[in-house]
Amino acid sequence: MNTPAHLLLGAAVFGDPERRHTTTAALIGGLLPDLSLYLMAGVSLILLEIPPQVVFGELYYSEAWQHVFAIDNSMLVWGLVFGLGLWLKRAWVVALAGAALLHLVTDFALHHDDGRSHFWPLTSWVFESPISYWDSHHGARYVAPLEGLLSAICAAVLWRRYVQWGARFGFIAILGLEGFVIRQWLVFF
């Protein structure tokens, strides 16, 4: 799924209106599995001026980048963090790791030829899903509207739970970003 959808889903499932830091942790957890991609691609594209075809056609699949992705997309690593949060009774750790795990489960099912090693360090095996959230050759035209609907439902749930206008505006802004990203995928891919 697109990162904004991960943020909304993580916040809807693990956020707590009574504990602001728990909701913040859930939002961060929804982002963290994608953060390395944004940082590495951003540096490559903007600072190093590497063409997008090289960044997403070569560097993305390179051993070095895939190793980074294996670490921050490992269900085992995030599962340990989640278990630690439960053991320590730290709601924010549970929210952070829970949202990251939820991110990974949905990514596992929705990446066709660009998946990650979700079971690192036990194996570097990568599941190749028959469907993709972004590639129209692998069902994105069907998946994207469902992802958009799920995001809208999560935003509506968050709107009802959170009475602070700042939080509400933030969730609606994330939903707007999700709609924009879905449109880009469908138009260009």
The pLDDT > 70 percentage for the chain reads 99
Residue 71 CA to residue 122 CA, distance in Å, equals 11
Task: Please choose, from the candidates 147, 135, 145, the residue with its C-alpha nearest in 3D space to the C-alpha of residue 56.
Answer: 135
| Residue 188 confidence (pLDDT) above 90 | no
Average pLDDT estimate for 18-36? 97
Residue 57 CA to residue 137 CA, distance in Å, equals 17
Question: For the chain, how many structural domains are there in total?
Answer: 1
| Residue 189 confidence (pLDDT) above 70 | no
Would you place residue 187 in the very low, low, confident or very high pLDDT band (cuts 50, 70, 90)? confident
**pTM for the complete prediction?**
0.93
Average pLDDT estimate for 70-84? 98
Residue 42 CA to residue 137 CA, distance in Å, equals 26
Average pLDDT estimate for 4-32? 97
Q: How far is CA 3 from CA 28, 33, 49, 72, 153, in A?
A: 11, 9, 24, 14, 16
Would you place residue 126 in the very low, low, confident or very high pLDDT band (cuts 50, 70, 90)? very high
| Residue 110 confidence (pLDDT) above 80 | yes
pLDDT tens digits, one per residue of 127-183: 999 999 988 899 989 999 999 999 999 999 999 999 999 999 999 999 999 999 888
Joined together, the tokens standing for residue 161 give 């739970």
pLDDT tens digits, one per residue of 145-154: 999 999 999 9
Task: Please give the residue range of the domain that contains residue 41.
Answer: 3-188
At residue 15, the pLDDT reads 97
The pLDDT > 90 percentage for the chain reads 92
At residue 184, the pLDDT reads 84
